[in-house]
Amino acid sequence: MFSHLFQHAKKYLSRSPKSEDELFCTSLKNVLGYAPKQLELYRQAFTHSSVRNVHQHPHRRYYVKPTEHNERLEFLGDAVLEIIVSEYLYNKFSNKREGFLTQVRSKIVGREALEKLAQQLELARFVKAKLRNSSAKNILGNSLEALMGAVYLDKGYARAREVFINRMLLPYVNIDDLVKREFDFKSRLLEVVQKRGKLAVFETVSQPSKDKSHMLFTCTLRIDGEVAGEGNGMSKKEAEQRAAEKAYAAFSAKRS
């Protein structure tokens, strides 16, 4: 009996506490739904450029590895997120125009939206940074982008898509509520145009329909004299909105 108790106690005392890698892996698994293979990729995803890992170098006093922070992964993750969300919206809204899809996508992958999503996912517990509070803007959103870059490199596109759509987007973002918000393309376009110091002019004409039961409106939008978009509608407002939608989609594509 004493021998059995001694062996049990020995086995219990010999158990080592979970390593830092095990704890990190377990926490990430709760977020991603799988155990990461390349842990260093994920550590890098949460390491801000304000953190410097300094090493001795035979010919220099200090040597800083340039790829240890997350900026490169953030660059990759940004592209990965854009294609994931673009594909999702393209399939979900098969009858919607490019301008609509562009606007919904911007509301999902925009800086403020990603920052909020990262907060809901509690990613702050993973982030390593040495910043003052005033310099911490977008750090969580950027870390989320970097995390998606790490997922893509570790597991591929299909897993990255599954993780973002099923474990991040759908549980925390109500897409139906998102698309119910009215998109005022005219106001948005004018804001962008004015920031660039350009002039937008809406030229709208009307004519009776073929059966003369109602009026049809056609709007031509010119920016600095050049045609930027055209739209038709059963009211002046609708025609202007459609012209602005086409122009805004083109502007958004140039900025991305």
- Number of residues in the chain: 256
Does 185-255 match 20-180 at the fold level?
no
Query: Radius of gyration of the chain from Cα atoms?
Result: 26
DSSP letter at 16 equals P
Amino acid at residue number 65: K
Residue 216 has pLDDT above 50, yes or no: yes
CATH H-level, domain 20-180: superfamily: Ribonuclease III domain (1.10.1520.10)
Per-residue pLDDT tens digits for 145-171 = 999 999 999 999 999 999 999 999 999
Residue 189 has pLDDT above 80, yes or no: yes
List of long-range contacts for 237-241, beta carbons under 8 Å, 24+ apart = 239/204, 240/186, 240/202, 240/204, 241/184, 241/185, 241/186
Give me the chain's average pLDDT, please: 83
DSSP letter at 133 equals G
DSSP letter at 204 equals E
Task: List the domain boundaries for the chain.
Answer: 20-180, 185-255
Average of per-residue pLDDT across 204-231: 89
Which residue's entry shows tokens 């390349």? 38
Confidence of residue 136 (pLDDT cuts 50, 70, 90): low
Percent of the chain with pLDDT over 90: 47
* Catalytic residue numbers, as ranges: 78, 145
Contact between 144 and 121 under an 8 Å Cβ cutoff? The reply is yes
> Reduced to 3 states, what is the DSSP secondary structure of residue 228?
strand
Residue 183 has pLDDT above 90, yes or no: no
Can you give 210-226 as a three-state secondary structure string? CCCCCEEEEEEEEECCE
Among residues 88, 23, 78, 19, the alpha carbon closest in space to that of 45 is found at: 78
The predicted structure's pLDDT at residue 26: 92
Specify the pTM. 0.63
User: Could you tell me which CATH number the domain at 185-255 has?
Assistant: 3.30.160.20
Q: Is the torsion defined by CA of 233, 236, 240, 245 positive or negative?
A: negative
